[in-house]
Structure 1
Amino acid sequence: MGVTAALLLARRGVRSVVLERHQDVYPLPRAVAMDDEVRRILQAAGVHEEFATFARPAEGLRLLDARHRVIGEFRRSAHGHHGFPQTSMFDQPELERLLRKALAQQPECELRDGVEVVGIDQNGDGPVRVAFRRDGGESPEHLEADAVLGCDGAAGLTRQVIGAVWEDLRFEERWTVIDVRTRLPVRSWEGVEQVCDPDRAATFMRIGEDRYRWEFRLRDGEELDARRVRELIAPWVEVADDSDVEVIRQTQYTFRARVADRWRQGRVFLLGDAVHLTPPFIGQGLCAGMRDAYNLTWKLGRVLQQSADESLLDTYESERKPHARHMIRLAVAMGWAMTGGQGPAAAMRRSLTSAACRIPALREAAGRGLSPALGHGALVRRRTYLGGRALAGTSCPQPWVSVDAGRIRLDDLLGDSFAVLSAVPAAPWLRAVAEAIGAHLVGTDGLGDDGALATWLRCGRADAVLLRPDRVVLDVVPMGADDFTNTAAWAPLLCTTRLPSPTERLTTARC
């Protein structure tokens, strides 16, 4: 997500240097799934159309018993809340090549590959000094930056530099991952299959036209040779000869659940696997890191480019840490339920899982997005109104809308900064607030979105909402009200000038 963060910063006019240890894209596939919220982040980074050329929408998740009989099915929509398929399968090296290509086209970005960061020094309020060594180089080189984003993984240096330590969320299992290319007929559907077998838990998914992935939980001390692999994948494909199947990679992972106790020290930040580790059972490893980048970059850009208050950066950890912990705990819970766990309680867990799959409300809930709303905080003014639902902290839906040039996605209309969506004619005070924070003011009438946005606002009993650059609702104007619920709480973080009150019809300077 380091390259993604650089692209997002470039959209805000922030220059960056990416220091990458590998000379080229890491060749082996790792992540293979993302949700519609993260595809929206790729849209914000400017690469979603190219990504769509090799992404493969998935139909959902099937739970199978040890004999591969379906015990539950959770469908995923091809048109999610964020305007994309709820689940997309892809090859991570392809995504990384796409991101690098986009980075090379941005004058604000510089990629230095084949280098290793060997030191990070932060002296008071001054710039952060980074020491790095090129491949084959003897002496370290240095650069200074206004901020450092540590996207260097679980074994990276940055977490040690800021003194962060892991909080163990009590999950550890050893699995083997096998990526295969074959033209043989494979018994599969366009989704993910999870074998709920405590003796041999497994996951299977189709990634591309001829690309497949199997994951098998390993017993203590177990290693899988080619013969055993053929036996394990036999329920899906019959391999008569090893030449029928190309094993792209076979490797072992120890899946863990951890989150760091701190995410920031001064202008040094942790993102992705450097700050949280999750089991893969709900496909949120890469997604969590991309959410980190999206949440942090707009705030950092506003501090560096628009003189927003430094305390705005404190909201990165306060928002992302509870969200990441929630998703990790959900992945752990799903893992224990789907794989059946181990020990004498396994049969009971399988029975409960099977029963839960037959409850329509649970199936419907599982079909919705897994990502929860952000909790109440400085940039989320959460209140529920009689007969409505709390919109603050949730993401705005992204329908297709009509403009003079044709049909586009909503975010392409709103741009990269704040936005105000209003279902009623905008009062002068609302226009002044929008101008003061650099927000795009958009009325929902006439957008040609089949009323999706107006319905969403009406269900939240709101006349208007203030959207953050990451499309999270910051605050609302309740129906019939003449102000946001608590402008005084968030305005000091974003602005260097006072916002007008509803009774003032003044145009203030941009902040």
Structure 2
Amino acid sequence: MIIGAGPVGVTAALLLARRGIRTVVLERHQDVYPLPRAVATDDEVRRILQAAGVGEEFAAIARPANGLRLLDARHRVMAEFRRSEHGRHGYPQTSMFDQPELERLLRDALARRPECELRGGVEVTGVGPDPAGPVRVTYRDEDGEHHLWAEAVLGCDGAGSLTRDAIGAAWEDLRFEERWTVIDVRTKADVRCWEGVDQVCDPHRPATFMRVGEDRYRWEFRLQEGQQPVRELIAPWLSPSYDGDFDVVRETQYTFRARVADRWRSGRVFLLGDAAHLTPPFIGQGLCAGLRDAHNLTWKLARVLGEGADERLLDTYESERKPHARHAIRLAVAMGWAMTGGQDGAAALRRRILAAACRIPGLTAAAGRDLSPPLTAGPLVRRRTRKGLAGTHCPQPWVALDGRRGRLDELLGDSFTVLTAAEPGPSLRALAHGLGVPAIPVTDLRDDGTLAAWLRAGRADAVLLRPDRVVMDVVPAGRHDFTDTAAWAPLLHTTRSPRPSPRTVENSLLRSSTE
């Protein structure tokens, strides 16, 4: 059961469907929310959309962006944080898009999956445990009140999450709260832009600006007394003589907050996306974090539900994702205070320090790299050195295998994979056979050398890739096999059979009743 049919909820349903898990998605709206909200994504998240089966469709609506610039109050460039058009995941490191378009293509994909059912126009009123095991979800629609029992519930129901309240989670405040106005405009004007994001570091009028589409732009301004009309606010980006078309698609006010839920799980009930964390938008990671949640959790949940894996596997969702989300939020808060100047007496000092730091050779290039650091060591990440490959993502070049050519993930499938620098020995083949996964020399993939160079740089003879393409374990150069399989193998295998639902009807994991 998935509560909420926004991008996070629908992506989770699609990822589960690829692994044979049936879902019902409950959504209060009948159609997608028509106005733009999220506008930016990164290459890792584009790889997640590829895994969900909508990679090519998203490419048709996405627009690569150059990165981020810091401007002073007079719009002079202080620093540039460039983002490449060819990231390690096989996509531009930053892409702009229109959220309603993304939601429509996700829902179209959902409608094509027989494992998924979307019920719109409903109001979820309760989430709670059932004595027999499954979780009971109560909702209302025009026909009355209904109950559904599910083997697991994913709360993708936003900042005001009922699911979060149901599991007794509370917000941890990361000490950032500001009111901003967000303005989306459609115009044919020659708007001054660099095909990236501009942050205006002006303590009196901090602002964000970006081009979203061919004729669509977004401005964000921190609210203050006596707010100016839209045309006056965006005048610095327009020619003074321009008096043509100017369509304000949306103008709304938001309170930007930084928060993390103190718990993300109670039994088989989970929080994802804004139900679990809130971030200011300054580094464009709000929606990205939610889609990372879905990618991290769904393969683990599918392995538990469909293959009878140990329940402890689900503990790794929060332990891996919460530090990641907290890192992104703190970075966004730091960028917000430093770049927009804040509202306190130290604002000018911070701006001077920032300007000086941006002149340090290599700093802006380092800051422009991936916003997703390696996962910390844990049951599913066997990190031995801080600079090793474990916990990082495998790059995704174009490859060829068995007469087919495509992106790496498309050819590897949805399960674990062992990649080796040379022909695998007997012990590696035995481990791969035990997992039911292939052991593939990277030379057999006939890529452009990316994978071999990646293994050499990580001093690895082989790696074990998780279904989300994170490196779980490494065979160091000169070794012959993984040396710590006892730490993670029990989580992936069990002697018991998958637990069937005691309320199964027509082989479904879900049953409903009407009162």
1:356 maps to 2:357: yes
Q: CA deviation at 1:497?
A: 6.1
Query: Please, which of 419, 422, 425 is the counterpart of residue 424 of structure 1?
Result: 422
Count of aligned pairs: 489
CA contact (8 A) 1:194 1:338 kept: yes
Aligned mate of 2:196, from 191, 202, 217: 191
In structure 1, the residue matched to 2:124 is 117
Q: 2:505 — aligned with what?
A: none
CA distance in 2, matches of 1:151, 1:496: 29
Q: Which secondary structure does the structure 1 equivalent of 2:445 belong to?
A: coil
Q: Secondary structure at the match of 2:159?
A: coil
> Which of these residues, 457, 460, 470, is aligned with residue 459 of structure 1?
457
1:152 matched residue in structure 2: 157
The answer (yes or no) to whether the contact 1:391–1:460 under 8 Å persists in 2 is: yes
Which of 467, 470, 476 aligns to 2:468? It is: 470
Query: Corresponding residue for 1:507?
Result: none
CA contact (8 A) 1:399 1:410 kept: yes
Secondary structure at 1:140 match in 2: strand
Query: How far, CA to CA, are the matches of 2:39 and 2:237 in structure 1?
Result: 19
**Is the 1:230–1:239 contact (alpha carbons within 8 Å) kept by the matching residues of 2?**
no
Amino acid in structure 2 at the alignment position of 1:237: L
Distance 2:437 2:223 in 1: 52
Partner residue in 2 for 1:12: 19
Check 1:340–1:125 CA distance in 2 against 1; reply closer, same or farther (3 A cut). farther
Q: Say which SS state the counterpart of residue 200 (structure 1) adopts.
A: coil
Q: Does 1:131 align with 2:134?
A: no
Q: Is the 8 Å Cα contact of residues 239 and 245 (structure 1) preserved in structure 2?
A: no
Map 1:13-32 → 2, pairs under 5 A: 13-32=20-39
Determine if contact 2:137/2:149 at 8 Å carries over to the other structure. Answer: yes
> 1:384 offset after TM fit, Å?
2.1
Partner of 1:488: 486
Q: What are the Cα deviations for residues 268-293 of structure 1, in whole angstroms up to 9, with x where unaligned?
A: 00000001000000000000000000
Identity of counterpart residues, as a percentage?
A: 74
Counterpart CA distance in 2 for 1:449 and 1:397 is 11
Amino acid at match of 1:245: F
- Structure 2 distance, partners of 1:432, 1:270, is 37
Which portions of structure 1, spanning 4 or more consecutive aligned residues, are displaced by more than 3 angstroms? 222-225, 238-243, 403-407
Deviates more, 1:36-45 or 1:403-412: 403-412
Q: Is this contact kept in 1: 2:260–2:276, CA < 8 A?
A: yes
Q: 2:396 aligns with which of 395, 398, 406?
A: 398
Q: Map of 1:207-226 to 2, 5 A cutoff?
A: 207-219=212-224, 222=225, 224=227
| Partner of residue 63, structure 1 | 70
What does 1:298-337 correspond to in 2, within 5 Å?
A: 298-337=299-338
Q: Give the corresponding residue for 2:499.
A: none
Q: Which amino acid aligns with 1:479?
A: A
Check if 1:95 corresponds to 2:96: no
Seen in structure 2, the aligned counterparts of structure 1 residues 223 and 276 have a Cα distance that, compared at 3 Å, is farther
Q: Using the alignment, how far apart are the partners of 1:246 and 1:223 within structure 2?
A: 23
Give the alignment partner of residue 405 of structure 2, picking from 385, 404, 407. Answer: 407
Letter in 2 for 1:416: D
CA contact (8 A) 1:282 1:334 kept: yes
Supply the distance in 1 between the matched residues of 2:61 and 2:87 (Cα, whole angstroms): 19
| 2:26–2:119 Cα contact (<8 Å) kept | yes
The answer to whether the 8 Å contact 1:478/1:485 transfers is no
Q: Could you state the TM-score of these two structures normalised by the residue count of structure 2?
A: 0.92
Q: CA deviation at 1:353?
A: 1.3
Name the CA shift for 1:440/1:497 in 2 (closer, same or farther; >3 Å): farther
Unpaired runs of at least 5, structure 1? 499-511
Q: Partners in 1 of 2:226 and 2:436 — Cα distance?
A: 58
C-alpha distance in structure 2 between counterparts of 1:142 and 1:240, whole Å: 61
1:302 and 1:112 mapped to 2: Cα distance? 26
* 3-state secondary structure, aligned to 1:435: helix
Task: Report the alpha carbon displacement of residue 202 of structure 1 after superposing the two structures with TM.
Answer: 0.1
Give the deviation of 1:56 after TM superposition: 0.2
Amino acid of the residue matched to residue 208 of structure 1?
G
Residue in 2 aligned with 1:53? 60
Larger RCO: 1 or 2 (CA < 8 Å, sep 6+): 2
Paired letter, 1:2: G
* Counterpart for residue 261 of structure 1: 262
Residues 420-444 of structure 1: per-residue CA shift (max 9 Å, x gap)? 1011211122122112223232210
Looking at structure 2, the residues matched to 191 and 429 of structure 1 have their Cα atoms a distance apart, in angstroms, of: 49
Q: CA deviation at 1:142?
A: 1.2
Change (3 A) 1:432 1:125: farther
Instruction: Find the residue that maps to 1:445 and give its secondary structure.
Output: helix
Question: Which amino acid in structure 2 is aligned with residue 398 of structure 1?
Answer: Q
TM-superposed CA distance for 1:244, in Å, is 1.7
Contact persistence 2:189–2:244 (CA under 8 A): no
What's the CA shift for 1:361?
Answer: 1.9
Taking a change above 3 Å as real, the CA distance of residues 115 and 239 of structure 1, as seen in their structure-2 partners, is farther
**Which stretch of the first structure deviates more once superposed, 402-411 or 314-323?**
402-411
The verdict on how the C-alpha distance between 1:301 and 1:249 changes in structure 2, with shifts beyond 3 A counting, is same
Indicate the SS of the match to 2:47: helix
2:401/2:444 contact within 8 Å kept: no
Residue number among 157, 180, 184 corresponding to 2:185 in the alignment? 180
SS at match of 1:169: strand
Structure 2: how far apart are the matches of 1:177 and 1:223?
16
SS of the counterpart of 2:297?
helix
- Paired with 1:364 and 1:314, the residues of 2 have a C-alpha distance of 35
- CA-to-partner distance for each residue in 1:93-114, whole Å, 9 max, x for gaps? 0000000000000010001111
Q: Deviations over 1:417-475 (max 9, x none)?
A: 11110112111221221122232322101322222111111111111000000000000
* Cα distance in 1, alignment partners of residues 372 and 453 from structure 2: 21
Letter in 2 for 1:206: R
Q: Decide whether the 8 Å contact of 2:73 with 2:201 is kept in 1.
A: yes
- Decide which moves more: 448-457 or 144-153: 448-457
Amino acid at match of 2:136: R
Name the aligned partner's letter for residue 86 of structure 2: H
CA distance in 1, matches of 2:116, 2:316: 25
Contact residue 381 and residue 485 of structure 1 kept, 8 A: no
Q: CA deviation at 1:482?
A: 2.3
Unaligned 5+ residue runs, structure 2?
1-7, 497-515
CA contact (8 A) 2:71 2:77 kept: yes
Look up the match of 1:366.
Answer: 367
CA contact (8 A) 2:398 2:408 kept: yes
Letter of the aligned partner of 1:364 in structure 2?
A: A
Tell me the distance in 2 between the aligned counterparts of 1:223 and 1:469: 52
- Post-superposition Cα deviations, 1:329-366, rounded to whole Å, max 9, x if no partner, equal 01101111111112221111111111122222211211
Partner SS state of residue 253, structure 2: strand
1:286-345 Cα offsets, whole Å, 9 max, x none, are 000000000000000000111100010000011111111111001101111111112221
CA RMSD of aligned residues (A): 1.6
